[in-house]
Structure 1
Amino acid sequence: MDLGLIGQAAGMFAVTNLDDLVLLALYFGQAAGHRRGGIRVVLGQYLGFTAILAVSIAGAFGAGLLPASVIPYLGVLPLALGIRAAWRLRRDGDNDGDGEPGGTGTGPAVLAVAAVTFANGGDNIGVYVPVFATAGAGGLIVFAVVFLVLVALWCLLGRFFAARRVVAGALARWGHVLLPVVLIGIGLLILVEGGAFGL
């Protein structure tokens, strides 16, 4: 067992996924009080991150599923979800904090969480592809296993932060407003940093 490679994988995951902790805390805050809401957040996070991992591995093997020129436009997904959430918030008033984005009054939907996770992972793909390309088959397995284990840890941390009294109070009061702002910000950041639309 190569502890150095495990450490490298853990460090790379942590650095490229810090922003996901904020989103997970917001999603778990939305899911609070909804039966199976937390399960949908975890499933969505795993679905989105597995897609990031699959595209990165395919890219490392030269399959080129996502050309580099397309990655910045992934920012459109969280931007659209954030605008939709903001529009619903404005339409329905401040007491609609439960169902957006992509929810139905039961917390966030699996596919909405997955879409935002995948869109937010454009920078991850850019980092993972060259590392995976030189890791070899054994290294790829180590990276994949470590990453998938750390997704579970990230979900636990997101839930932990959402359950802290101060954080939970802030999320209950402001989460429905903060989530659209964060999603729009992430979408714009992905678009601008990637040079989309000549920005």
Structure 2
Amino acid sequence: MDAGTVGQAIGLFTVTNVDDILILSLFFARGAGRPGSTRRIMLGQYLGFAAILAASAVATAGATLLPAAALPYLGLLPLGLGLWAARQGWRDRAGHGDEAPPARNGGPGALELAAVTFANGGDNIGVYTPVFATAGVGGTTAYAVVFLILVAVWCLAGKYLATRPAVARALGRWGLVLHPAVLIALGLFILIDGRAFGR
């Protein structure tokens, strides 16, 4: 694995996943103080990103898991999760007045984050496929290894942001609004940017 390939892989990952830092921070804030939440969040991020890599590899081989016309509809996943989170937050607030609602035992689930990560990865698949096609098997393997290492770095960065006192206070105060709002906005962006509603 040469330094040039590693540098290109780091740059490519950073550009295509910069928006994931905010999403991960929100998930880590939601899971604060809940046993096993860090493990579940990291597992979900890895599952979602592994699905992105698999879809990119399959597309590179000349097949597609989903037709291009279906990719914008992946936005329905974060949109649905955001609406569900908004409903839960509203119910919790309604039941507890101005108090913060009690922490749920489970916190965010691995499959929930995996779905959001994969849905947000439609652009990643579009970028990774031609890169993998020109990199060959060895180059693609190198990219995948670097990407998978960087997923852990991204998770650590998200957790770091979520645990900074000022950020943690803001997320603790506004997390019930921000979490569903970001997921709904992400879902709408994917749907609109992919022209799911027509040209």
Band the TM-score falls in, shorter-chain normalisation: over 0.9
Q: Look up the SS of the partner of 1:198 in the other structure.
A: coil
Partner of 1:110: 110
Q: Distance in 2 between matches of 1:25 and 1:36?
A: 16
Distance (whole Å) between structure 2 residues aligned to residue 157 and residue 30 of structure 1: 15
Matched-pair contact (CA < 8 Å) for 1:28–1:159: yes
1-structure distance, mates of 2:101, 2:64? 41
1:113-152 CA distances to partner (integer Å, 9 max, x unpaired)? 1000000111111111111111100011011000000000
Structure 1 stretch displaced more, 85-94 or 27-36:
85-94
* Counterpart residue identity of residue 132, structure 1: F
- 2:195 maps to a residue whose letter is G
- How much identity, in percent, do the aligned residues show? 58
Deviation at 1:92, TM superposition (A): 2.2
Partner of 2:7: 7
- Based on CA coordinates, which of the two structures has the bigger radius of gyration? 2
| Cα distance in structure 1, aligned partners of 2:148 and 2:69 | 27
Aligned-pair CA distance for 1:177: 1.2
Query: In the alignment, which residue of structure 2 is the partner of 1:54?
Result: 54
Partner AA of 1:83 in structure 2: L
The ranges of structure 1 where at least 4 consecutive aligned residues each deviate by more than 3 angstroms after the TM superposition are 94-99
Residues matched between the structures, number: 194
Q: Distance in 1 between matches of 2:15 and 2:180?
A: 24
- Structure 1, gaps ≥5 residues long: 100-104
**Which residue of structure 2 lines up, in the alignment, with residue 102 of structure 1?**
none
**Structure-2 separation of matches of 1:48 and 1:156:** 16
TM-score, structure 2 length as denominator?
Answer: 0.94
Task: Report the TM-score, using the length of structure 1 for normalisation.
Answer: 0.94
- Alignment partner, residue 162 of structure 1: 162
Unaligned runs of 5+ in 2: none
Residue type of the alignment partner of 2:124: N
Q: What is the aligned partner in structure 2 of residue 84 from structure 1?
A: 84
Q: Secondary structure of the equivalent of 2:67?
A: coil
Distance 1:136 1:13, change over 3 A: same
Q: Distance in 2 between matches of 1:96 and 1:86?
A: 13
Please state how far the C-alpha of 1:65 moved relative to its aligned partner: 1.2
Distance 2:88 2:29 in 1: 18
Report the CA distance between 1:64 and its aligned residue.
Answer: 1.2
Distance in 2 (CA, whole Å) between partners of 1:68 and 1:7 is 29
**Equivalence map 1:17-36=2 (5 Å):** 17-36=17-36
1:134-153 map, 5 Å: 134-153=134-153
Taking a change above 3 Å as real, the CA distance of residues 83 and 168 of structure 1, as seen in their structure-2 partners, is same
